[in-house]
Amino acid sequence: MDDTEEISAAFPFESKYIDVHGSKMDYIDEGEGDPILFLHGNPMSSYLWRNIVPHHSGQGRCIAPDLIGMGQSDHPDIACRYDDQYRYLSGFIENLGIGSNVTLVIHDWGSGLGFRWAHDHAARRHARKPPSPVSDDACPGHRVADGQRRELALDGKPADNFAVVEAYRQWLTETEVPKLLFHGNGGVAIKEPEVAWCRENLDIVDLGDGIHFLQETHPHTIGSELSTWYAGL
């Protein structure tokens, strides 16, 4: 897929809301079938996936929430640290009833949250449980100020990254679950030794130049490759 194709700023999806622990969480819900759950990072929203979700038309039920305190979701009076986010994400998945046969598409903070959810629900996917080292201590919280919305996709400064590959290396080498990793030059969390390990153990796609929000610079390549990979599951 050629990423010279238009990268649209439009967000052509209907926002839906669900109550989680007394707060509204905003999400998009497109298509039917097994759930494909897109988890954004910090600070961001479901806006990040707007050019990627359409590549999965007809493949499954694409769901992308705004994490609590971000995007159009409510901003409750909580610290919005990692454990808070995980509690609300777990509630979101449970309340929506999408915990079985789910495929996670994860980025930044969403990666740590997604890996932890996979660990806690390993029995649902018949795979070995990975260790779960990520906690508030490992991921200092960054409270999202009131008023921050989807514009963060264009001019927001991302919070500090943190590596997850090393923490989950043992699980990633032994699990039967298929994996796919996108890599852009100039990465922060995943350094060259980790990239080398990924090349040996994962399906990896080189995107070329890119910084943190690869979905903004290479959305159609990501969407196309992810769609092909998903079709082969």
Phi, psi of 117, deg, nearest 5:
-65, -40
**CATH number corresponding to 16-149+161-231:** 3.40.50.1820
pLDDT in tens, 27-79: 999 999 999 999 998 889 999 999 999 999 899 999 999 999 999 999 999 98
pTM for the structure as a whole = 0.75
**Measured distance CA(2)–CA(9) in Å, rounded:** 17
What are the structure tokens assigned to 184, written together? 């852009």
pLDDT in tens, 209-218: 877 888 999 9
Confidence check: pLDDT of 170 > 70:
no
pLDDT in tens, 111-120: 889 988 988 8
Q: What b/e string do you get for 176-185 counting C-beta neighbours within 10 Å, with b at 16 or more?
A: ebeebbbbbe
